[in-house]
Amino acid sequence: MVVLRPSGQPVPAQPQAQVFDSWDAFTQSSVQPLGFYLEGWDAPAADDLILQLRRSPWWDRLAVVAPGEGKASVLADTAAPYADAVARAERSLAVRRSLRLALTDMRLEERVLYFLYVRDAMELAPQCTLTHPMLYHYPVVDALAQRGEDPGACLATLVRRKLLEPAQLVDRTRHCRTCGSAHIHYIDVCPHCSSLQIRKEASLHCFSCGHVAPESDFHHDGGLSCPQCSAALRHIGVDYDRPLTQYACGSCHHVFVETTTQARCLACRTSCAPSALDVREVASLRLSAHGRTALRAGQIQESFAALDTANYVEAPHFRRMLDWALAVTTRHPEMRFGLMLIEFTNATELIEELGAARVFLLLDEFARRLHELLRTSDITTRTQEDKLWLFLPFSDPAGLSARLQRALSDQTVAAAPSALQARIRHLQMPQDLRAGDSAAALMERLLDQA
């Protein structure tokens, strides 16, 4: 067991312990850790150490803090005495050995499931952070995510596939349907013209003509008279009365009893009715029975894995290759290439309608057609389960796009009652190159295209 303790503190006698005063000191050693035990650190320092651990080759190891030091730590597995920490780490080691899975090249989805599997009854707890676009996030998954991986999309996929399940409902949040942000501002507006210029003001009702307006509109020459018919209003209940209206609009002069509430997104400034917001439940998440079975059977990769052809590389390597091609194209414009995004827009709905097995066959058939069309120099990757990227050196992406659309509309692929649908977008370099473009910028541009 590796013990991380600040320098200058007394070192108690602990069996099977290798003591280090910093993460760097540990990484420079050749110790193979059973787990990590942190003592003597405040919560921010402990979380910083655990964050380095989660992004290291030992990301799956237990990180336990000493009792009384883990109340504010969001990344620690638990707070326990040293003997209990050793026992937990030994049980985790036994589970890891029973799985016999290679930890290298795991996708984020696999790492999350594996991380939960080797821990007894662990739940992923959401944390509310005001600066986070979604308000709630899962710090443990954020720590496990590598560059370019989306923790929110990963958890949504795992829950949709029922590999994770909600454990305890924590909150409900409302999100903008335009940008997804949970930072929503609610304002009262005029129900007639939606103006903000509303004020609380008593109103009068003229019996002669039925005109209703703010009381200030009736004051004239020290008395009350109707601004519409000029009738003198002397006696309440005879000439006029006070209706229930409490508000008046300074823009359209409309009077009304209740205001209209409008939701305004603070991120993209979109306004809508509160009923039009996307309501999401926030809950702690745990590994489901289906998730345990899939992990042990090595069936985490779903049908979209059929799209990972022999030309497939991991997303970080794909971005590096794209950056290299951009650098070459900048100096040598004759080096042309295409970047294509294939996004399957109805796969989730088809799985619910036709069943997973039928959709798997559709995707397998499309993958076979794609493999026939790709050259050995073409490279593919996936950033999400339904988003396939193609790097096409010295190729015309428009021609490939047309052939892929024909493949989708072919009777073999679309033989189901509902056909598989895909949105294909592409860029051609150097024609579409902009100053300062990078791989991330090009991919973001394709994602943003309507």
DSSP code for 29: S
The DSSP-derived string for 33-76 is: -S-EEE-S--HHHHHHHHHHHHTSTTTTS-EEE-TTS-SS-SS-
Among 100, 120, 138, identify where a domain stops. 100
d(CA 34, CA 89): 6
d(CA 21, CA 3): 8
CATH number of the domain where residue 375 is located: 3.30.70.270
d(CA 112, CA 191): 48
123 located within any domain: no
191 located within any domain: no
215 located within any domain: no
**In this structure, which amino acid lies at residue 156?**
A
203 located within any domain: no
Among 78, 100, 122, identify where a domain stops. 100
177 located within any domain: no
d(CA 15, CA 10): 15
118 located within any domain: no
271 located within any domain: no
d(CA 291, CA 145): 19
Contacts for 186 with CB less than 8 Å, ≥ 6 apart = 261, 262, 263, 264, 274
Q: How many domains does the chain have?
A: 2
Among 61, 79, 100, identify where a domain stops. 100
d(CA 164, CA 151): 14
For residue 365, the model assigns a pLDDT of 76
For residue 36, the model assigns a pLDDT of 94
Q: State pLDDT tens for residues 381-412.
A: 988 778 899 999 998 899 888 888 887 776 44
pTM: 0.64
Map 392-449 to HEC letters.
EECCCHHHHHHHHHHHHHCCCCCCCCCCCCEEEEEEEECCCCCCCCCHHHHHHHHHHC
389 located within any domain: yes
**91: enclosing H helix or E strand:** helix 82-99
Q: How far is CA 214 from CA 25, 157, 202, 281, in A?
A: 76, 55, 6, 44
For residue 91, what are the domain limits?
A: 1-100
Q: What is the pLDDT along the chain (450 residues), one digit of tens a residue?
A: 899 998 876 656 566 688 898 999 999 998 889 999 998 888 889 999 999 999 999 999 999 998 876 456 889 998 989 999 999 999 999 998 888 787 877 888 889 999 999 998 899 999 999 999 999 999 999 999 988 888 988 898 788 777 899 999 999 999 998 888 999 999 999 999 989 998 887 788 888 888 888 777 888 887 888 888 888 887 888 888 888 767 888 898 888 888 899 999 999 999 999 999 989 999 999 998 888 887 877 666 555 666 766 588 888 899 999 999 999 999 998 999 999 999 988 877 777 777 665 776 677 678 778 887 888 889 999 887 788 999 999 988 998 888 888 877 764 444 445 677 888 999 999 999 988 899 999 999 998 875
For residue 123, the model assigns a pLDDT of 93
